[in-house]
Amino acid sequence: MQDYAPATPGWQEAPTTGVLVLADGTVIEGAGFGATGSAVAEVCFNTAMTGYQEILTDPSYAGQIVTFTFPHIGNVGTNDEDVETVGMADVVGVRGCVVRAPVTEPSSYRSMRRLDRWLAARGIIGLSGVDTRALTNLIREKGMPNGVIAHAPDGVFDLAHLKAKAAAWPGLVGLDLAKDVSARQTYTWDETTWAWDKGYGRQEAPRHHVVAIDYGIKRNILRLLADQGCRVTVVPATATAEDILGHKPDGVFLSNGPGDPAATGEYAVPAIRGVVDAGLPVFGICLGHQMLGIALGGTTAKMHQGHHGANHPVMDHTTGKVEITSMNHGFAVERGSLPEAVEETHVSLFDGSNCGIRLKDRPVFSVQYHPEASPGPRDSHYLFTRFVNLIRAAKGEETLPERE
């Protein structure tokens, strides 16, 4: 067993009511909050300074415990408008969160509930008072470990059991989680993005029809598609090419999601290939990007520490411009595996990993990051216009400028 500094100095007066136990035996102590009980998952870190509620409701974090590097998490509370979950991820999404400072009373006119109470209501375990810098360094050096996060108000833990549970969990490689967070039934979407003093709107005069495959889709993706004049039909992750084409879409969107793309790809890749072969415009994000890469002949691999944050610079080779992006992925498309027909369009300026591809002879492209998020704040929104322009071109309509 390895020793670990239990808590940040100054907060050690609080009793130990929560622990994070890693697969190698490391025990990290702190103050538990949110839900009680225990949960096993992969431990990652996120470097975003804002948007913790969007992160904690991102279905792509299913099977993970998020360590926030920004110390003050919970300071603006929570509300009903910033939830990104659409399908079943409320039940099986992120498994826990680790923070430095204790959760305080929120300071925001938008707040409806304290973070700790919100987490408890959603069954998510929290751990505060942790030296998150040291934990982040551990992940950077050794990779994302498996671990168990536990919260017990009486401070009594069976550490031997928790260690065994963490060591026995097989991890995310080979794990299909998309079916767990995906919608169970087909539905339509027409809500548009939020506007000051108006809230969310409705797309009442759509010009295009897009089928979105839900591998763990986020609400703001659907809103941005609606903003582009799209009527969106959302289908489950297990939809076949025949199911998708039966809706007679103008274009197909491949959503983000959790887990190993090769595992989900066992049933998703044949559907993606069928859509590509039909000649429809296709746009993929995150897990959708990775599975499109597989469908086009490439492979994916597990990353050492992954990319999780809202400050990741990416180069768009098609324009020569750099955008600040939001990322959340632990797998990546392997550049060297891509066939000649596939062009690499985007690259991470942090580590050079692949962040985007497109087919040279068909209206098909994808990116690894989350263009619906707002770290830039709108650096990547042009990709939705790029997608709809492919639809417009296929219909013989005039295209629009990608950037304002």
The tens digit of pLDDT for each residue in 164-199 reads 999 999 999 999 999 999 999 999 999 999 998 889
Q: Is 204 helix (H, G, I), strand (E, B) or coil?
A: coil
CATH 3.50.30.20 in the chain, residues? 18-168
Annotated catalytic residue within 44, 97, 230, 286: 286
Question: What pTM was estimated for this model as a whole?
Answer: 0.95
Residue in 208, 329, 372, 381 annotated catalytic: 372
What CATH class does 178-394 carry? alpha beta
Using omega within 30 degrees of 0 as the cis cutoff, is the peptide bond preceding 377 cis? Answer: yes
Q: Is 45 exposed, middle or buried (0-12, 13-18, 19+ CB in 10 A)?
A: buried
Task: Please state at what angle helix 287-295 crosses helix 261-277, rounded to 10 degrees.
Answer: 60
pLDDT in tens, 51-107: 999 999 999 999 999 999 999 999 999 999 999 998 655 566 899 999 999 999 999
In this structure, which topology does domain 18-168 adopt according to CATH?
Glucose Oxidase; domain 1 (3.50.30)
Residue 196 backbone phi and psi in degrees, to 5: -55, 130
Q: How many CA atoms lie within 13 A of 128 on its CB side?
A: 21
User: Which residues belong to CATH 3.40.50.880 in the chain?
Assistant: 178-394
Known catalytic residue at 97: no
Integer distance in angstroms from the first to the last C-alpha of the chain? 56
Catalytic option among 208, 289, 346, 370: 370
Phi and psi at 295, nearest 5°, equal: -60, -30
Sheet holding 251-254, edge to edge: 187-189, 230-236, 208-214, 251-254, 282-285, 364-367, 354-359, 342-348, 300-316, 321-333
Q: What is the mean pLDDT of residues 215-229?
A: 97
- pLDDT tens, position by position, 319-374: 999 999 999 999 999 999 999 999 999 999 999 999 999 999 999 999 999 999 98
Strand partners, 210: 232, 251
Whether 343 is catalytic? no
Task: Based on the residue annotation, tell me whether 370 is a catalytic residue of this protein.
Answer: yes
